[in-house]
A = this chain, B = another copy of it.
Amino acid sequence: MGLQIGNHQLDSRFLLGTAGYPSPAILAESIRASGAQVLTLGLKRTLGTGARDNGFVQIIRDAAKDQGAQLLPNTAGCRSAHEAVQLACMARELLDTAWIKLEVVGDEQLLAPDPFELLDAAAQLVRLGFTVLPYCTDDLVLGQRLLDAGCAGLMPWGAPIGSGQGLLNPFALRALRARFPAATLIVDAGIGAPSQAAQAMELGFDGVLLNSAVALCGDPVRMAAAFAQAIAAGRAAFEAGPIAAQDLAVPSTPVSGRPFTL
């Protein structure tokens, strides 16, 4: 079983952002190396630059087609529910998808989600027929409200966007997983290294969305492949049932006795 978003079942649990790559060719190759089946793209920029986007959207569409990927437009740059809803509606027209990664930011320095505007926008967009994936904090109560409003899942941050700090509060993420066992939960933002993506998956999250850790590193194509492996590894470990951590040493090699546990 793969990642469920709305009515879609996806094989890959890696959702990749498309901003900030060194070149169109590296973007296309990174997408392919990631195997991602969800590709986010910033509407504000795309719309703002109009036809002179260097074929940005077409690159993404081409790569998306090859691996059966969906576009997931985002509302990065929006500061109010009103602005986000408008942008989402334009995106649906232009990109021909009802999926939306809903970002409504309330703090400029940390790009922190605004829980109030976010919930308002989410409720409006659900009523308008969108499949809404909100970029949110790890707040349990906000999460409950967003799911009650009809969101297709939750995308809590691990750390501020682009900070590469990994999972700042694993306790809060574990609590979200425990409280919403049936919801689609994706860590979105703050991941800097594959080990952190694997950790999110080992906590039982359904997927990981990231952008800067691939786009801004030394070798995006290689890093995209590395994240794909780490995310798959973390999921497999979660399903395989890892050993519990303990305070004392446990000899892996007993000095006598039968060689197998059976």
Contacts and interface: CB of A to CB of B under 8 A. Distances in A.
Interface of A: 17, 19-24, 27, 41-42, 44-46, 48-49, 53-54, 56, 74, 76-77, 106-107, 109-116, 119, 137, 139-142, 144-145, 159-166, 168-169, 171-172, 175, 179, 192-196, 198-199, 201-202, 211-213, 215-220, 222-223, 225-230, 232-234, 236-237, 239-262
A129 to B, nearest CB: 24
Copies in the complex: 4
Nearest to A78: B255
Contacts of A139: 112, 115, 137, 139
B162 A251 contact: yes
| Most central of A142, A162, A175, A251 by chain B CB within 10 Å | A251
Contacts of A228: 233
Interface centre among A23, A226, A247 (most CB of B within 10 A): A226
